């Protein structure tokens, strides 16, 4: 497996956010994490990305324990994430926001960067080539030179996804990528997410409230409720689980 969460527990004061949660994300799959508000989805994302440190348990990438690694160290290991709230530099152009996603790949020294020669120039061309592929995949060519803050919300969400993808991660954590989007925007983004998995071979861990999206694109689903894992399996199995229906879905999804 590419990512493993082992017996993770997290509390804030007397409030238990996660209780002995374990699951695995297999390489090349799209694994969804669902649950009602307050179930612990964002908490587990923050534990995986290094924002929170669990009181118990371990996080492993490719069998390597990273529980105590800093967020920037995890990024260099191939972990990238988006956020539920857009965290772009709105005064900067789309292209520049995407290039920022290449920061973990910078290798040039200070001198060559100042002189803009040799390795630095080759590196810059390589980074721009990688970003152009992201622009093509997400179909945002027409907005490449626009300041992000002037663009529609749905396009900004697409750019947020693109910046994480520009890091060329081994595993991509998507936190509510379709939140606040209309039906057409949601369908477009779901298609792009599938393309990222199928054409680029990326492993994806997805948190999403839109059950239609989850059931359509996920290979496997883990369900949390009040910080506990209550179900896991293929979407067709999870959506019929009585515990899931009672805790989150409210009724069986056909």
Q: What is the pLDDT of residues 145-175, one digit of tens each?
A: 999 999 999 999 999 999 999 999 999 999 9
pLDDT digits (tens, 9 = 90+) for 11-26: 998 889 999 999 999 9
Cβ-contact 97, 163 below 8 angstroms: yes
Q: What's the whole-number mean pLDDT along residues 109-134?
A: 67
CA dist., res. 176 & res. 157, Å (int): 10
> How many residues are recorded in the chain?
254
Q: Which pLDDT band, with edges at 50, 70 and 90, does 36 fall under?
A: confident
Q: What pLDDT, on a 0 to 100 scale, did the predictor assign at position 111?
A: 45
The CATH number for 1-78+169-179+201-254, chosen from 3.40.50.300, 1.10.10.10, 3.40.50.720, 3.30.930.10, is 3.40.50.300
CA dist., res. 84 & res. 161, Å (int): 11
The pTM assigned to this predicted structure is: 0.87
Question: Strand pairing of 171-175 and 203-207?
Answer: parallel
Q: Is the pLDDT of residue 118 over 60?
A: no
Helices 118-138, 153-166: crossing angle, 10 deg rounding: 140
CA distance to 21, 56, 71, 126, per residue, from 49 (Å): 16, 16, 6, 27
R_g of the chain computed on alpha carbons: 19
Sheet with 171-175, edge to edge strand ranges? 79-81, 171-175, 203-207, 30-34, 220-225, 228-233
Q: Which pLDDT band, with edges at 50, 70 and 90, does 197 fall under?
A: very high
Cβ-contact 41, 226 below 8 angstroms: no
Range of weakest confidence among 51-60, 192-201, 208-217: 208-217
For the chain, the structural domain boundaries read 1-78+169-179+201-254, 89-168
Characterise 7 by phi-psi region: left (phi > 0), alpha (psi -120 to 50), beta (else). left
CA dist., res. 132 & res. 43, Å (int): 33
- Contacts with 132 (C-beta within 8 Å, 6 or more apart), sequence order: none
CA dist., res. 231 & res. 201, Å (int): 26
Characterise 84 by phi-psi region: left (phi > 0), alpha (psi -120 to 50), beta (else). alpha
């Amino acid at each position: 497996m590419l990512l493993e969460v082992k017996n993770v527990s997290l509390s804030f004061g007397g409030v238990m956010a996660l209780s002995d949660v374990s699951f695995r994300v297999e390489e090349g799959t799209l694994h969804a994490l669902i649950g009602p508000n307050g179930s612990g989805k964002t908490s587990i994302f923050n534990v995986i990305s290094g924002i929170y440190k669990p009181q118990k348990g371990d996080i492993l990438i490719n069998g390597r324990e990273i529980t105590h690694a800093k967020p920037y160290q995890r990024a260099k290991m191939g972990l990238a994430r988006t956020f539920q709230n857009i965290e772009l530099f709105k005064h900067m152009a789309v292209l520049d926001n995407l290039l920022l996603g290449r920061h973990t790949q910078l290798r040039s020294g200070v001198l060559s960067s100042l002189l803009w020669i040799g390795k630095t120039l080759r590196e810059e061309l390589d980074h721009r080539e990688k970003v152009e592929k992201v622009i093509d995949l997400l179909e945002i060519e027409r907005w490449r030179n626009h300041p992000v803050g002037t663009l529609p919300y749905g396009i900004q969400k697409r750019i947020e996804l693109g910046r994480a993808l520009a890091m060329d991660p081994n595993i991509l954590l998507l936190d509510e990528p379709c939140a606040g989007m209309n039906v057409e925007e949601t369908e477009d983004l779901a298609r792009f997410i599938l393309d990222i998995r199928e054409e680029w071979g990326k492993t994806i861990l997805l948190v999403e409230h839109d059950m239609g999206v989850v059931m359509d694109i996920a290979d496997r689903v883990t369900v949390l409720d009040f910080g506990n894992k209550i179900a896991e399996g293929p979407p067709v199995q999870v959506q019929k689980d009585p515990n899931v229906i009672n805790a989150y879905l409210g009724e069986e999804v056909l």
